[in-house]
């Protein structure tokens, strides 16, 4: 909450003072610094930092090698896809295109990511619980994939419909250029979810099922 309030106040001040780029950068750094500082203060107040030792950290890492093996590549890929594209767009397309991308990411990718994550968790537990019944697991996966794929197609068709009637949408005139990027950004964002509900399934058949 504190971080969000700092960002809101800082961006507002930056906009009023016509120092948008520098003000937004400074606000972002300050907000993350406040978030980290509050976390350290709370951890210190609860005595959580007293048990942090290098030897204990190494011990935890050794006892959770499977988690690191499966989690690290997925985390790196997700981070590269989420932030790498922002840098590419900023360098080669400009700030306006980055704004278009972030806007579509908030209205398309973020909601679907929440839904996809929930589905993945349910499938993970189901596969781990019924690992000795492959027929049941296979049937559930096929049905889930059909529903999820249909949902993605419906989302894409809705975006294409919005693109056709873009001039009637309540969007400011300076965002008129967004219309040209609806299709490529939609395909890019939606295609990444085609197999995402099943990304963690291999873990269910290793030691993690315990």
Model pLDDT, residue 204: 53
The whole-angstrom separation of Cα 113 and Cα 197 is: 10
Q: What is the pLDDT of residue 200?
A: 58
Whether pLDDT at 199 is above 80: no
CA atoms within 13 A on the CB side of 144: 23
Report pLDDT for 33: 93
* Res. 197: pLDDT tops 80: no
pLDDT tens-digit series, residues 14-46:
888 877 778 888 888 999 999 999 988 988 888
CB 117 within 8 A of CB 199: no
Give the model confidence (pLDDT) of 144-175 as tens digits. Answer: 888 988 999 999 999 999 988 888 888 777 78
Position 203 scores a pLDDT of 55
H and E: helices and strands count for the chain: 9, 0
Which pLDDT score, from 0 to 100, does residue 158 have?
92
Give the model's pLDDT for residue 130: 83
76 band by pLDDT with thresholds 50, 70 and 90: confident
Give yes or no for residue 128 having a pLDDT over 90. Answer: no
pLDDT at 154 (0 to 100): 92
User: When comparing pLDDT for 178 and 82, which is higher?
Assistant: 178
Residue 59 in tokens: 């011990």
The predicted pLDDT at position 157 comes to 93
Provide the pLDDT confidence category of residue 93 given band limits of 50, 70 and 90: confident
Which of 26, 203, 81 is closest to 131 using CA atoms? Answer: 203
């Amino acid at each position: 909450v504190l971080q969000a309030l700092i960002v809101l106040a800082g961006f507002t001040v930056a906009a009023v003072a016509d120092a948008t780029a520098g003000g937004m950068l400074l606000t972002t750094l300050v907000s993350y610094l406040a978030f980290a500082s509050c976390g350290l203060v709370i951890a210190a107040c609860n005595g959580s930092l007293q048990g942090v030792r290098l030897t204990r950290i190494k011990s935890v890492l050794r006892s959770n090698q499977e988690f690191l093996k499966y989690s690290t590549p997925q985390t790196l890929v997700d981070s590269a896809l989420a932030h790498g594209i922002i840098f590419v767009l900023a360098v080669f397309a400009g700030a306006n295109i980055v704004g278009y991308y972030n806007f579509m990411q908030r209205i398309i990718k973020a909601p679907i990511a929440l839904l996809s994550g929930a589905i993945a968790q349910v499938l993970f537990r189901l596969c781990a619980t019924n690992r000795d019944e492959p027929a049941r697991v296979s049937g559930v996966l096929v049905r889930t994939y059909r529903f999820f794929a249909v949902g993605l197609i419906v989302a894409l068709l809705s975006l294409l419909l919005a693109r056709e009637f873009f001039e009637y949408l309540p969007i400011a005139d300076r965002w008129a250029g967004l219309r040209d990027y609806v299709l490529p950004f939609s395909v890019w964002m939606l295609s990444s979810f085609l197999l995402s509900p099943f990304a963690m399934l291999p873990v269910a058949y290793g030691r993690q099922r315990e």
